[in-house]
Chains A and B, each alone.
Chain A
Amino acid sequence: MFEIGTDEAGHVRISGRLDAAKAPRAQTFLDRQDGPCVINLGGLEYISSAGLGVLLRTHKRLMANGEGIRLVGVGPHLRDIFSYSGFDRLFDIETAADG
């Protein structure tokens, strides 16, 4: 299962499994985002390097205009992956425990 959309607060919400099969759909959606972008990952169970590539590509594009992505609701598995990949130094990340 994979879902991506915009919630009532205007935040992007990604849930399910973001793998290599789903990454193109996520990239197409995020390519339409402009300005500062908050992505709620509270429902994201799993991410692979393909999903990380989608986030990095989008973050770099938005950062070119001084904006970028803020990731919220990041759970333990994702937190580990972000740490291993160095994304915790590239993104503004708010973990699920941080509320």
Chain B
Amino acid sequence: MKASFPRRFSALTDIVTMTEAFFAGEGLDASLRPATDLCLEELFVNMVTYNTETKEPITIELQRHGQGIRAALTDRDVDRFDPRKVAPVDVELPLEQREPGGLGLYLVFKVADAVHYEYRERTSRITFTIEGKHD
């Protein structure tokens, strides 16, 4: 399943609708939905927030991966931004030193089983995998 979404947060509702339809169509374990939704939102929001020089829509592809799911987000006409190279958030800090923000990509790497990044011809493609329970 593949679709493109405008670069605005309100598109998250349509992304959830797409994911819901994909899970239903593939008969995938619903317990994988929260992690899938979280990764899709955090990566989409990151692209919308930081890749502000482009007006191109962001393309999302969902594929079955055994009993799990593999998803790819493609962002065109953007600079390189490898999420794997972002410094991790220190979640051990006390309240007075914690600040909102920075948790999104950190959570992606916590809940996804694999995250890959490709950059070619000013196009970023981030792929993540959520394994099924029996994979």
Task: Write the residues of chain A forming the contact surface with B, with a CB cutoff of 8 angstroms.
Answer: 17, 19-21, 46, 48-50, 52-54, 56-57, 59-60, 63, 77, 80-81, 84-86, 89-90
Contact = CB atoms under 8 A, between A and B. Distances in A.
Nearest to B49: A20
The secondary-structure label for the interface of chain B is: helix
A36 B44 CA distance: 35
A48 B104 contact: yes
Interface of B: 9-10, 12-13, 16, 34, 37-38, 41-42, 45, 89, 91-96, 98-104, 106-107, 110-111
Given A56-B100, A84-B111, A21 B12 contact: yes
A86 B98 CA distance: 10
A59 B9 contact: no
Nearest to B95: A90
A90 B101 CA distance: 15
Contacts of B37: 46, 48
